[in-house]
Structure 1
Amino acid sequence: MKSIIFEKPGKPADILKSTEVPMPEPGPNEVRVRVVASPINPSDIMFVQNLYGIRPQLPSGAGFEGVGVVDALGEGVQMRTGMRVSFTSVGTWSEYAIAHQRSLIPVPDLMPDDVAAQLFVNPFTAYAMVQESGVKEGGWLMLTAAGSAFGKMVIQLCKMRGINTIGTVRRDDLNDELKALGLTEVINTETENMATRVKQITDGNGVACVLDAVGGHTASEALKCLGKGGTMLMYGLLSLQDPAFNVGLMIFRELTVKGFWLTDWMRRVDSATRQDVAQNVISLLSSGKIQLPVEASYSLDQIAEAVEHADRHGRWGKILVKP
């Protein structure tokens, strides 16, 4: 079977290749999944470069989530083959992948494969972070990199909850689409002063929470946009640069800066919370109330083109790998 393998960390387009490997066999409490589609997320790109919280065991597969059909069961697994599931694992950019039975989410018939492929990482993170933000109806939440797939999910969730949103972008070509999804205000960081605009928008109060995926200068400026007692949740570092924070601002405004990693959040919360998130996310996606657009799909043999496309600025949808 074909699988995307890398033998050393590096630039994904240079080191990822489609390789013939033996068909894997599931161990105890595992299943084998025939993969239908898998997205390319920023976490996947970071993992391949050895910049993620989980380190690759080389040689390693790539891709963290996908949708597929269970075709073989390991010892102790009580389910049937032929089920369509969303799943997480390491190595989902492959014709077949091994997943622990706990990572499987049965996919409703109404949910298309392109949506089910993206069911976990972005939707669960967006839902959990909006919860974690603590912003109430009528309050203000700000998000950097608003045009990302994750940003679009947050915008839609906040609109449903009556939360006002400010999104930052670096170019204006997606502004109309973001406003149509429910973004209240948009700030172009290339042409506008972020803190000044936020002050104008919020009548000088600032925002209650910032969700930041960029780091670097963007995060440093976003901190200035927080109101008294505000919180910044950092879940990415797209700039690959650490921010520099004004300590005086943090002290006298009583600000909090926290990291957010879905893997740890899922471990930390109780099973009822995890189940609530899963049910709500599946319901929102199955009903079409939340949209997860796909811009392009590529085969395993086209992996270099796929990761280059995924890293391209100005995308309006997710890039999928389809074995």
Structure 2
Amino acid sequence: MKSIIFEKTGKPTEILKSTDVPMPEPGPNEVRVKVIAAPINPSDLMFVQNLYGIRPQLPSGAGFEGMGIVDALGEGVQMRMGMRVSFTSIGTWSEYAIAHHRSLIPVPDSMPDDIAAQLFVNPFTAYAMVQDAKVPEGGWLMLTAAGSAFGKMVIQLCKMRGINTIGTVRRDGLNEELKALGLTEVVNVETENLTARVKQITAGAGVNCVLDAVGGHTASEALKCLGRGGAMLIYGVLSMQNPTIDAGLLIFRELTVRGFWLTDWMRRVDSHTRQDVAQNVISLLASGAIQLPVEASYSLDQIAEAVDHADRHGRWGKILIKP
């Protein structure tokens, strides 16, 4: 079978390749999944570059999530063969992948494959972060990199909850689409002064919370946009630069800055909370209430083109690998 393997860490376009490997067999508590589709997320590309919280054990597969059909069961697994499932593992960019049975989420018939492939990482992170942000109805939440798949999910969730949103962009090409999804205000950080615009938008009060994926200068400026008692949740560093933290702001506005990683959040919360998030996310996606657009799909043999496309600025949808 074909699988994307890398033997050293580095630039994804240069080191990822489709390789013929033996068919994997599931061990105890594991299943084998025939992969139908798997997304390319920023965390996948960070992992390949050895910049993620989980370090690759070389040689390593790539891809953290996907969807497919249960193809084989390991010892101790009671599950129906042929089920459509969303799953997480290391090495989902492959014709077949091994996953722990607890990582599987049954996919309802009403959910298309392209949506099911994106079920976990972005939707769960977005839902959990909006919960953690604790912005009241009528309050303001700001998100950087608003045009990302994650950003679009947050915008739609906030609209449902009556939360006002400010999104930062670097180009104006997606502004109308973001507004149609429910974004209240958009700020182009290349042409506008972020702190001045946010002060104007919020009548000087500032925002309740910032969800930041960019880091660097954008995050430093976004911190200044927080109102008294506000919080910044950092879940990515797309700029590959650390923000500059103004200690005076933290002290005199009583601000909070902390990181968010879905892996740790899933470990931290109780089973009831995890089930609640799963049920709500599945319901929203299956009903079409939340949209997860796909821009393009590639085969395993087109992996270099796929990761190059996924890393481009200005995308309007997710890039999928379809073995």
What TM bracket, shorter-length normalisation? over 0.9
Residue identity (%)? 86
What is the CA deviation profile of residues 144-194 of structure 1, one whole-angstrom value per residue up to 9, with x for unaligned ones? Answer: 000000000000000000000000000000000000000000000001010
Could you say which residue in structure 2 is the equivalent of 1:175?
Answer: 175
Q: Secondary structure at the match of 1:258?
A: strand
What letter is aligned with 2:218? Answer: T
What is the CA deviation profile of residues 185-226 of structure 1, one whole-angstrom value per residue up to 9, with x for unaligned ones? Answer: 000000101000000000000000000000001100000000
What letter is aligned with 1:102? Answer: R
Q: Tell me the CA shift for residue 80 of structure 1.
A: 1.4
How far apart in 2 are the matches of 1:144 and 1:70? 37
Q: Secondary structure at the match of 1:220?
A: helix
Could you say which residue in structure 1 is the equivalent of 2:280?
Answer: 280
How far apart in 2 are the matches of 1:126 and 1:249? 27
Could you say which residue in structure 2 is the equivalent of 1:195?
Answer: 195
How far apart in 1 are the matches of 2:247 and 2:189? 23
Q: Tell me the CA shift for residue 98 of structure 1.
A: 0.1
**TM-score normalised by structure 2 residue count:** 1.00
Could you say which residue in structure 2 is the equivalent of 1:217?
Answer: 217
2:137 counterpart of 1:137? yes
2:292 counterpart of 1:292? yes
How far apart in 2 are the matches of 1:220 and 1:80? 50
How far apart in 1 are the matches of 2:321 and 2:291? 19
Could you say which residue in structure 2 is the equivalent of 1:63?
Answer: 63
Alignment of 1:302-313 (within 5 A): 302-313=302-313
Alignment of 1:1-323 (within 5 A): 1-323=1-323
Q: Secondary structure at the match of 1:70?
A: strand
Q: Secondary structure at the match of 2:309?
A: helix
**TM-score normalised by structure 1 residue count:** 1.00
What letter is aligned with 1:166? Answer: I
User: What is the number of residues matched between the two proteins?
Assistant: 323
Q: Which sections of structure 1, spanning at least 5 residues, go unmatched?
A: none
What is the CA deviation profile of residues 75-122 of structure 1, one whole-angstrom value per residue up to 9, with x for unaligned ones? Answer: 000111100000000000000000000000000000000000000000
Q: Secondary structure at the match of 2:127?
A: helix
Q: Tell me the CA shift for residue 139 of structure 1.
A: 0.3
How far apart in 2 are the matches of 1:216 and 1:68? 38
What letter is aligned with 2:236? Answer: G
The CA RMSD over aligned residues, in Å, is: 0.3
Q: Which sections of structure 2, spanning at least 5 residues, go unmatched?
A: none
